[in-house]
Structure formats: C-alpha cells, structure tokens
C-alpha cells in the first residue's frame, strides 16, 4: 500500500470515529502524493469506516484544478461536477464511487487537508458574535481566515483560490480556515500534525463554552404521549419511520438551560438540509392540530418530512428509520447544544435564503 494512503486511512479512522468532530457522511480528508496525485475520501462514505479497499479515491491534482477553472467559467450542474471528478480519478479502480464533492479545495491547499464539522466549533461559526469570540479564543495560538458562506464544493474552492491569490493564506505552511455556518479546514504537512492541530483547536473552543448539564424539563412525563401523537401525524407521511423520545438524561444543554422557540429559527448549516431534513421543529403545545400544522409548515418551507421535534417543556423526539435512530438521537442532541450555545454568542446567524438553493449546495 502507498504510504500516503496508509496515512489517509489512519487519520480518517482516528478523527472520523469521534462524533464530536464529524458524523454520518460529513467531512473529508486528503493526503497528496509525490507523483502529483491526492488520496481523498469518497463522496458519501464515512471517514471512520475507511479501509484499504473502500472509502477513498486517488485523483490527479492538475486535472482537478483544470476542472475547477472550467466549472468556474460556465454554469455548473451536479452532473457536470460528478462526471468531471470521475474523470480526474487516477487509481485504476473500477469503482462507481466519486471523490468527495469538496475535492476542489483540497487540491488547492497543503499536503494533508482536514475538513470537519465539530460540535464545539459550530456555535462560533453559526452565531453573530462567534467570529470575534473565536479570534479571542485562538489568539495566542492560531491566526485563521474566515470564509463567509456562499455555497459548498466549487464555490468554497473559488473563495479559497481568491485567498491564495491575494496571499492571505499559504499552502506551504500550516493554515486554518473557518468556514462560516459550515466547519473547519486545517492544512498542513503530515497527518500527525493535522491530528494535533485539530485536537488543540477543539479543546480551546470547548474550554470557552459553558458546561453541559441535563436540561430540567418540567413536563417530561408527558413526552411518550406526545411522541405517540407525532407518530400518528407522521404515519400518513412515511410508513418506515419510527418515533422515539430522547431520554431526559441524554438531553444536555449549556448550563442545563431550557430550550426556547428562538433556538429553532432558520437553518444554520447546510447539513441541516442535506442530512437532517431541515432541522428541529419547535412544538409549543402537544396538541395534534398544532403538530400537524408544524409538519405542514416545515414541508412547505424545506420540502422535507421533519426528523426531529422539540416539544416545549417536554423534550426532544426523533422520527427516523430504525437503523438511523441511534445516530440521529446523538446528532440532533448535538444540534440542540450548538443552537443553545450560539444563542449566547449574540444570537443565531441563520444561512441567508438565497444560499439555500440546489445550486449553492454543489
């Protein structure tokens, strides 16, 4: 096995197995080789499950950059990107799995590039006061570039290309990029260095957040009843979904404060759209008509059937496929923490609606 691939598998399994850093198919990592190639996570696969035979592709960096420049000049479609990225593969594999959609920015940066969506960093990235606070938190150790959300994949790569051109970031030394409403990019020389840097940044972020405590829910005993009502409303929408409350002791918030309606306003990250069916729906009364109305409103707004509900004073309820239930309980629990923390940093900073289009998500 090529040493760079061994390095990629090691770092992907190490960082990818930590749910506080990334979950489901999110995040991506790459390592460049001496022959102008780059090993990168395959699109949709899970970092923590990468093996010697699956979960990665090798691409030709010069071809990726040519493709990026071509795409930037013309109107892009997901089909054009997929076809173009498949043509950049140089691993000889007869695989239908595509290199990560975020391959473009990896190609522009240093030898080892890590991109994650960490729970303890997202409140800073999704709040009005977060950028300023993050500068103070990391000041002694890291300088970073802040990248406003304009879209994913090709768009983010274009923004990073611009920074490189203006020499505001450098691919020969270590670099930290903060993607507003999205996540972290660390660029450095080795996987070992990247693991250390990610660990250090996240420890600093976490240290400056309030401690997590179980939220005290005054009407928690009614949660199973409300869960049954939600199941009844959703039975007409999807037969394969099961509905379950999150146990109270697993529902932790900053200092144990009780969530409020304003915690659930807007979409704060693209993954709330792509993985989490538009995010958590606020229910202020456990009444079947109220629940039904909230589901209809959510479907109109996002085009998706909600997978999580927060019922005022009662707690969190998840509606998901049986196989996804455990991970969804964890991820929606994280989003409750992220939103609660962001509220305390001068309020949530939702994604502007103009960037929530299918074109921005490519």
Q: Which is nearer to Zn ion, 28 or 76 (CB)?
A: 28
Q: Which is nearer to Zn ion, 118 or 315 (CB)?
A: 118
Q: Which is nearer to Zn ion, 158 or 183 (CB)?
A: 183
Q: Which is nearer to Zn ion, 183 or 315 (CB)?
A: 183
Q: Which is nearer to Zn ion, 25 or 245 (CB)?
A: 25
Tell me how far, at minimum, the Cβ of 22 lies from Zn ion, in Å. Answer: 8
Tell me how far, at minimum, the Cβ of 111 lies from Zn ion, in Å. Answer: 20
- The CA distances from residue 114 to 30, 40, 176, 192, 220, in Å, are 7, 10, 10, 11, 40
Residue with the two structure tokens 């990334």: 22
Tell me how far, at minimum, the Cβ of 282 lies from Zn ion, in Å. Answer: 26
Q: Which is nearer to Zn ion, 151 or 259 (CB)?
A: 151
Q: Which is nearer to Zn ion, 30 or 314 (CB)?
A: 30
The alpha carbon dihedral of 324, 326, 329, 334 has a sign of negative
Q: Which is nearer to Zn ion, 183 or 286 (CB)?
A: 183
For the chain, what's the residue count? Answer: 362
**How many other C-beta atoms lie within 10 A of the C-beta of residue 336?**
24
Q: Are strands 145-147 and 37-41 parallel, antiparallel or unpaired?
A: unpaired
CB-closest chain residue to Zn ion: 183
Tell me how far, at minimum, the Cβ of 118 lies from Zn ion, in Å. Answer: 11
Q: Phi and psi dihedrals of 95, rounded to 5?
A: -120, 145
Burial class (CB in 10 A: 0-12, 13-18, 19+), 79: exposed
Tell me how far, at minimum, the Cβ of 102 lies from Zn ion, in Å. Answer: 6
Tell me how far, at minimum, the Cβ of 3 lies from Zn ion, in Å. Answer: 27
Tell me how far, at minimum, the Cβ of 79 lies from Zn ion, in Å. Answer: 21
Tell me how far, at minimum, the Cβ of 154 lies from Zn ion, in Å. Answer: 13
Count of residues in contact with Zn ion, rule CB under 5 A: 1
Q: Which is nearer to Zn ion, 183 or 306 (CB)?
A: 183
Q: Which is nearer to Zn ion, 149 or 264 (CB)?
A: 149
Binders of Zn ion in range 171-190 (CB under 5 A): 183
Tell me how far, at minimum, the Cβ of 57 lies from Zn ion, in Å. Answer: 17
Tell me how far, at minimum, the Cβ of 115 lies from Zn ion, in Å. Answer: 6
Q: Which residues bind Zn ion (CB under 5 A)?
A: 183
């Amino acid at each position: 096995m090529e040493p760079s691939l061994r390095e990629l598998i090691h770092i992907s399994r190490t960082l990818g197995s930590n749910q506080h850093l990334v979950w489901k198919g999110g995040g991506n990592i790459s390592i460049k080789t001496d022959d102008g190639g780059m090993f990168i996570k395959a699109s949709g696969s899970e970092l923590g499950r990468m093996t010697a035979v699956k979960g990665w592709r090798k691409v030709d960096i010069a071809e990726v950059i040519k493709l990026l420049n071509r795409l930037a000049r013309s109107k892009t479609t997901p089909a054009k990107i997929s076809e173009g990225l498949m043509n950049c593969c140089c691993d000889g594999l007869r695989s239908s799995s595509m290199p990560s959609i975020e391959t473009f920015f990896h190609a522009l940066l240093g030898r080892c590039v890590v991109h994650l969506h960490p729970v303890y960093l997202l409140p800073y990235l999704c709040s009005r006061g977060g950028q300023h606070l993050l500068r103070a938190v990391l000041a002694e150790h890291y300088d970073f570039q802040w990248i406003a959300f304009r879209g994913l994949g090709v768009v983010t790569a274009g923004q990073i290309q611009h920074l490189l051109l203006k020499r505001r970031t450098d691919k020969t030394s270590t670099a930290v990029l903060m993607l507003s409403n999205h996540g972290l990019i660390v660029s450095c020389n080795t996987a070992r260095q990247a693991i250390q840097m990610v660990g250090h940044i996240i420890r600093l972020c976490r240290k400056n957040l309030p401690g997590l405590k179980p939220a005290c829910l005054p009407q928690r005993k009614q949660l199973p009843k409300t869960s049954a009502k939600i199941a009844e409303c959703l039975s007409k929408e999807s037969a394969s979904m099961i509905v379950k409350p999150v146990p109270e002791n697993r529902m932790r918030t900053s200092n144990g404060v009780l969530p409020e309606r304003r915690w659930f306003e807007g979409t704060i990250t693209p993954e709330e759209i792509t993985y989490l069916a538009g995010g958590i729906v606020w229910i202020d009364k456990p009444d079947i008509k109220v629940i039904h109305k909230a589901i209809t409103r959510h479907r109109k707004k996002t085009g998706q059937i909600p997978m999580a509900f927060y019922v005022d004073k009662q707690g969190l309820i998840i509606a998901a496929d049986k196989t996804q239930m455990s991970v969804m309980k964890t991820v929606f629990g994280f989003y409750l923490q992220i939103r609660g923390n962001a509220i305390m940093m001068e309020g949530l900073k939702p994604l502007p609606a103009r960037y929530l289009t299918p074109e921005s998500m490519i």
